[in-house]
Amino acid sequence: MTAKPEVSKGKKFTAIWIIPLVALVLGAWMVAYTYMTEGPEIRVHFKTASGLTAGKTVVKFRDVEMGTVEDVVLGENLEVITAVIKMKREALPLLNYETRFWVVTAHIGGGGISGLDTILSGAYIQIAPGSSNIKALEFTGLEEPPLTPVDAPGIRLILLSEGAASVGPGDPVLFHGFEVGRVESLTFDLEKKQLRHEIFIDAPYHELVNSSVRFWDVSGISLNAGAEGFSIETGSLKSILQGGVTFAKPPDFEVGVPVDNNTEFRLFPKYDDILESPFGYREYYVVSFDQSIRGLLPNAPVEYRGIRIGAVKSVLLQELVEKGIRDNAKPRGVPIPVLIYIEPGRFALPDTNESLELMRKTFEKGVRNGLRASLEIGNLLTGAQLVELDYFDNEQAAELGEFEGYVTIPTVVTGLSGLEQKISRLLDKANELPIGQTVGSINLAVGELNSSLKALRVVLENDDLRTIPAELQNTLEALRSILEDEGIREIPGELKSTLAAAKFQLQGESTEAYQLGRTLKEVESAARALREFLDLLEQKPEALIRGKQNLEE
């Protein structure tokens, strides 16, 4: 039996343990890396999941992958779907309250053909970061891709129109036929019954927009046949085919002030409408007429001393009836309210809100000074009427009133109908006169006058009375002979010389007068001495005996 060889146990630890350690470190690093680079999980709601595939559809920002759709689930109320998206960590700054998501698929529309690459690669979700500071992880996706990036420089405006929609999203916005922007969306405002176009005008052309520009529709071809012949108006070929909006400053308009984002403009159906009513700011007033308004049609002019300043909007008959029912008013004699509008731009004021304010104040003051509205005949043939504003000096001061939320301007009745009213009023008064009684008294007076005249005649026919003229003549002749006597004639001359002498005397230029003056002075000094003596005697009677000097000692 040989000795059992020594089996060494070896080292406690060998270098081989570095290998699992390295593996462990690598594994830990991988876990840490994954954790560190893990982005947020966001949820985006869409109406449909069209084009979205879990695990495949990516989220892109400027064509850089920012995340992947992990799951597509149906919302709780079955009305929306929710795409659960795992975002990359670097996408974190993109996610805020205003961030918008939309699905990009191949799209052929007004804005051109886009997203062709998605035919092969499948749809992807585009992300447009917002500028808000509020972070968010849940979003509602857009159904339609926005035509303009959120951060694109330019200006976003709102056009309101009442006509039929012929301009749609993607249609161009032109300036002198050059495309400077596009229509982004078209919605219908149920409340105002207006079409609402959101348009975007790219920088630097947004500087062309100011408060005095007007927008009009240049869709299709406009053909006008009139007394001046035919006229055809078109925009660019693109706008003929798909519609468009153009804008310009109407002639004779001052350049307005720059406008803010989301400023509302009216979209006019055609250019001629702008020339007719190019003003954007207007104030509505109600004028109530206590007379027939036959011939007063909508769009009838409202004039100030013959200058057009606005137009008639409508007759507020319904409001009147409603108010009557509500107030339980008497069913007759209520003036008919007519809604008119007045545009400050027509007073050569700038077409701004400030002018509107100025106009309101002017009217308020004006009404106190006799500004009144009246109905005037505009056309004698057709009987068309218009509303005239003017100052009436003999009107009482009044205040602006209120009718169903509108400001009312007091009215007066003038013109033909005014005349008619005045005459009828006169006749009414004449009717009321006590003519029978008056005629009776007149008859009586006439009778009395008659008898008086008769009596007068009797007196006049008396003979004594007839001699009076002859006697009077004799008397006058005697008087004349007296006056023509020489002595009498000299009287004025003598009187004159006497008066001159008296004047001479009184002026003190004769010796007699001088002497008289001296005498009077002496008498005066004598009187003074006598008064002094009498005073002394009264105070010191002993002076009479002792003398004045002794007394003083």
Partner 1 sequence: MSGDTDTAASRGLASCHVCCKLASSAIHTCPRCGAAMHLRTTNSLQTTLALLITASILYIPANLYPIMITDTITGAEFSTIIGGVVLLIKLGSVPVAMVIFIASVVVPSAKIAAMFYLVWSVESSDRENHRQRTKLYQIAEFIGKWSMVDVFVVAILVALVHLDGLLVIRPGIAAYSFAGVVLVTMVAAEYFDPRLMWDQLDNKNDSET
| Binding positions for partner 1, rule: CB under 8 A | 1-5, 7, 10-11, 13-14, 16-17, 19-20, 22-24, 27, 30, 56, 58, 120-122
Q: How far apart are CA 104 and CA 124, in angstroms?
A: 5
Neighbours of 398 (CB within 10 A): 14
Please identify, using beta-carbon distances, which residue of 56 and 489 lies nearer to partner 1: 56
Q: CB–CB of 269/233 below 8 Å?
A: no
Q: How far is the CB of 67 from partner 1 (least distance, A)?
A: 13
Residue closer to partner 1 (CB basis): 24 or 275: 24
Helices (H), 259-400: 271-276, 317-327, 353-368
Smallest distance from the beta carbon of 101 to partner 1, in angstroms? 18
Tell the smallest beta-carbon distance from residue 9 to partner 1 (Å): 9
CA dist., res. 185 & res. 170, Å (int): 8
CB of 14 to partner 1, least distance (A): 5
Q: Is 341 helix (H, G, I), strand (E, B) or coil?
A: strand
Least distance CB 16 / partner 1 (angstroms): 4
Tell me whether residue 58 or residue 336 sits nearer to partner 1 (CB atom): 58
Residue 20 C-beta: closest distance to partner 1, Å = 4
Q: Is 416 helix (H, G, I), strand (E, B) or coil?
A: helix
182, 238 Cβ separation under 8 angstroms:
no
* Helix-then-strand count for the chain, H and E: 13, 26
Amino acid in position 166:
S
In terms of CB distance, is 120 or 227 closer to partner 1?
120
Whole-angstrom distance, CA of residue 125 vs CA of residue 102: 6
Smaller CB separation from partner 1, 3 or 506: 3
Instruction: Name which of 83 and 340 has its Cβ closer to partner 1.
Output: 83
- What DSSP element (H or E) covers 225? strand 221-226
SS3 letters for 189-214? ECCCCEEEEEEEEECCHHHHCECCCE
Nearer to partner 1, 14 or 77 (CB): 14
Q: Which is nearer to partner 1, 121 or 132 (CB)?
A: 121
- In this structure, are strands 371-379 and 384-391 parallel, antiparallel, or unpaired? antiparallel
With respect to partner 1, which residue has the nearer C-beta, 122 or 149? 122
Q: Which token pair is 139?
A: 């979003």
Residue 49 C-beta: closest distance to partner 1, Å: 17
d(Cα 119, Cα 184) in Å, to the nearest integer?
24
DSSP-derived letter for residue 485 is: S
DSSP 8-state code for residue 94: G
Q: What is the DSSP letter of 240?
A: H
Smallest distance, partner 1 to C-beta of residue 1, A? 7
Q: Is 240 exposed, middle or buried (0-12, 13-18, 19+ CB in 10 A)?
A: middle
Cα distance between residue 203 and residue 180, in whole Å: 8
Least spacing, CB of residue 104 vs partner 1, in Å: 14
